[in-house]
Amino acid sequence: MFKLQSRNQFSPLLRNSLTRNYAAAVAKFQGTKNAKGNYTVTMIEGDGIGVEISEAVKDIYKAAKVPIEWEAADVRPLLINGKTTIPEPAVKSINKNLVALKGPLATPVGKGHQSLNLTLRRTFNLFANVRPCKSIVGYKTPYDNVDTVLIRENTEGEYSGIEHVIVPGVVQSIKLITRPASEKVIRYAFQHAISTGRNHVLVVHKASIMKLSDGLFVEVAKELASEYPNVKLSFENLDNTSLKLVQNPSQYNNLVMVMPNLYGDIMSDLSSGLIGGLGLTPSGNMGDKVSIFEAVHGSAPDIAGKGLANPTALLLSSCMMLRHMELNDHASKIEEAVYKTIASGPENRTKDLKGSSSTSHYTEQVIKNL
Ligand SMILES: NC(=O)c1ccc[n+]([C@@H]2O[C@H](COP(=O)([O-])OP(=O)(O)OC[C@H]3O[C@@H](n4cnc5c(N)ncnc54)[C@H](O)[C@@H]3O)[C@@H](O)[C@H]2O)c1
């Protein structure tokens, strides 16, 4: 029979979520400029095409005169006493700079490593994953005019790591929803809605079936609504949102969706598909102190080192980072140059966008369009 475990037997992720202390204002950037007037940002180039796309970002930032100095960090995981761990110098760099830009990391297969993304979320308590999806002019998909923002709870739900074999052939996986973690991500969604002028938060849930867990998520949103009287709050069942998103995504353009972990994982990839895939999608992992921005695609080992990689997703992630740091003008300037380059024709687009450009040619064009 399944016995309730003692608190110490729970995963570190769960223990964190039970003991965390939450402040009212969440995920505000608190970094300061150095004597030269620049911020220092930790750069995790990553594996495979990571080196090529990070180089493109650095070249474009230099040309755009963004007030940033990069500090390189290696986060390739170490396995210490069976636990996946980030190397200490990288942890120190990220904790010092409070912000990092991350390229893709190949997950070692069959060596007992936990997913590095999960390790990063756990190490820095990155409680919300933000995934905007905006149609890119010049890259036609069946959907025009997509402009969605999805915020995913990033620390618990089905990812709590609490699984048991009850008897052979019967396993149990526990979905954990806590008031503190729900409050944190929903509060962030309200703040994001206000700061982006969307002024509408849509909670996506399945409380009709998960009455207690999703029910708590919904209840917390209703409670917080009184603190944000100028933001509309509405609710929708996950299955209904899935249907409506693929029928007509533009009906979600003027709001911010927020949802528990697994729903957010699936729905954010679905949203990426609407605009042409993960290669165009930026993301941000927000924590109280530290935030890490990353392209959501992988290390693309099939094209690594060939000069064919598309740096757009990492570039757009870096623009999310600039907005988080309140360097909005620099973000707009780079975003506009990226969109102009992609729209300018297949000769200036990389192969994954049905073009013929190399990484370096694309980078030069973005610089020209700045
Ligand atoms: N966030 C991350 O760090 C992350 C995410 C996904 C996968 N991974 C890791 O990356 C490795 C490879 O994974 P995969 O092959 O399943 O997925 P992938 O995203 O690396 O590649 C899938 C396909 O998309 C193409 N592609 C991806 N990004 C591209 C870009 N920027 N420009 C042009 N083409 C691009 C690749 O060439 C490949 O054909 C694995 O070790 C996986 O664990 C890491």
Residues with CB under 6 A from ligand 1: 49, 104-107, 117, 279, 294, 296-303, 309-310, 313, 350, 352
Question: Residue 4's pLDDT is what?
Answer: 40
In a domain, 190, yes or no: yes
In a domain, 11, yes or no: no
Residues 101 and 191 in one domain: no
Question: Residue 76's pLDDT is what?
Answer: 80
In a domain, 241, yes or no: yes
d(CA 324, CA 243): 32
Residue of 297, 316, 356 best suited for mutating to test ligand 1, as the one with most atoms within 8 Å of CB: 297
Residues 168 and 254 in one domain: yes
Structure tokens at 202: 């849509």
In a domain, 116, yes or no: yes
Strands 99-102 and 126-134: unpaired
Mean pLDDT by groups of 10 residues along the chain of 370 residues: 42 46 65 94 95 97 98 86 85 96 82 73 92 91 95 92 92 95 96 94 97 98 96 98 97 97 95 90 94 93 95 97 96 96 94 94 98
**Cα–Cα distance list, 130 to 163, 206, 281, 282, 291 (Å):** 27, 20, 11, 9, 11
Helix (H) or strand (E) holding 59: helix 50-63
The answer to whether 33 and 41 are in contact (CB under 8 A) is no
Residues 166 and 258 in one domain: yes
Residues 270 and 283 in one domain: no
Q: What is the CATH number of the domain that holds 194?
A: 3.40.718.10
Look at ligand 1, atom 22, and give the residue with the nearest C-alpha. Answer: 300
Distance (angstroms) between ligand 1 centre and the Cα of 269 equals 13
Look at ligand 1, atom 40, and give the residue with the nearest C-alpha. Answer: 106
Strand order in the sheet with 232-237: 68-72, 39-44, 99-102, 291-295, 282-287, 126-134, 147-153, 256-259, 200-205, 232-237
Torsion angle, alpha carbons of 119, 124, 125, 127, to 10: -90
Show Cβ contacts of residue 356 under 8 Å, excluding neighbours closer than 6 positions. 346, 347, 349
- Find the domain containing 208 and state its range: 142-275
In a domain, 137, yes or no: no
Domain boundary residue, one of 275, 291, 307: 275
Residues 267 and 241 in one domain: yes
Question: Residue 79's pLDDT is what?
Answer: 78
Distance (angstroms) between ligand 1 centre and the Cα of 276 equals 15
Strands 83-85 and 170-173: unpaired
Residues 159 and 257 in one domain: yes
Residues 103 and 207 in one domain: no
**Cα–Cα distance list, 184 to 9, 258, 286, 335 (Å):** 25, 11, 11, 29
Residues 246 and 202 in one domain: yes
Q: Which residue has the tokens 């299955």?
A: 239
Query: Which numbered atom of ligand 1 lies nearest the CA of 103?
Result: 3
Residues 156 and 224 in one domain: yes
Residues 253 and 334 in one domain: no
In a domain, 23, yes or no: no
Look at ligand 1, atom 36, and give the residue with the nearest C-alpha. Answer: 300
The answer to whether 299 and 332 are in contact (CB under 8 A) is no
Of 230, 269, 229, 274, nearest in space to 251 by CA: 274
Residues 264 and 293 in one domain: no
Question: Residue 110's pLDDT is what?
Answer: 59
In a domain, 20, yes or no: no
Domain boundary residue, one of 219, 251, 275: 275
Tell whether pTM > 0.85: yes
Strands 200-205 and 282-287: unpaired
Distance (angstroms) between ligand 1 centre and the Cα of 109 equals 15
Residues 241 and 313 in one domain: no
Question: Residue 27's pLDDT is what?
Answer: 79
Structure tokens at 223: 């409670």
In a domain, 19, yes or no: no
Residue of 116, 299, 363 best suited for mutating to test ligand 1, as the one with most atoms within 8 Å of CB: 299
Number of domains composing the chain: 2
Domain boundary residue, one of 223, 249, 275: 275
Distance (angstroms) between ligand 1 centre and the Cα of 204 equals 28
Q: Which residue has the tokens 């919300």?
A: 128
